[in-house]
Amino acid sequence: MNKEKLISPLKKLREFEDTKKIDEIIELLRAAHGELRGRKNPDLQLSASSLVFQAEQLYFIEHPYQKELLLPAGHVELGEFPLETAAREFHEETGFYAEMGGILVDVNLIKIPFNEIKNEKAHLHIDFRYLLKKSIKQASRAELPVFLLAQQDAPEEFRKYYQYSKMDLS
């Protein structure tokens, strides 16, 4: 994957997000060696999360290992760009579809702890967070428990995203 295709949209986030955080992530991307998509790199991987609203409520899933409410998200697979991952993971985890196209609203560096079940060492994820629009396409079966939460019921770290609940993505 062309790193500049990942870095260019991050530069635009500097206007809205913590520039120190954005610059740290850009430097990590520039310094990274090898493929960051999939799970090949044991130290640094790419992931993408979806922010999808229904009225003023945001979709969450219960993480299967951590047993906490999180945004639908997952690894960026080979051949994918993070936006595609966000839409794919939203569908797989919730059963609902998102329309293609979306807006990058945040990026985070997430410390992933050691996973005993998968025997996966602790590592970092660069998580691209996209605001997506829910499709009217008929839903299928969800992989995980799904929750639609108002801001006051959402986990604290995600409450800042409710500012996007009324954004028109048409």
Q: Where are the alpha helices (DSSP H) in 48-137?
A: 82-94
Q: 112 lies in a domain?
A: yes
Radius of gyration of the chain, Cα coordinates, nearest whole angstrom: 16
pLDDT at 39: 87
Q: What CA–CA distance (Å, rounded) separates 49 from 12?
A: 18
Domain that holds residue 99: 3-164
Q: 155 lies in a domain?
A: yes
pLDDT at 12: 92
- pLDDT mean across residues, the chain: 94
pLDDT band, residue 65 (cuts 50/70/90)? confident
Predicted model pTM? 0.93
Q: 127 lies in a domain?
A: yes
Q: 77 lies in a domain?
A: yes
Please report, for the domain that includes residue 138, its CATH number: 3.90.79.10
The count of structural domains within the chain is 1
Q: 170 lies in a domain?
A: no
Task: Give residue-wise pLDDT tens across range 110-139.
Answer: 998 888 888 889 999 999 999 999 999 999
Per-residue CA distances from 167 to 17, 37, 77, 104, 142 (Å) = 18, 30, 28, 13, 26
CA-wise closest residue to 131 among 29, 45, 50: 50
Q: 169 lies in a domain?
A: no
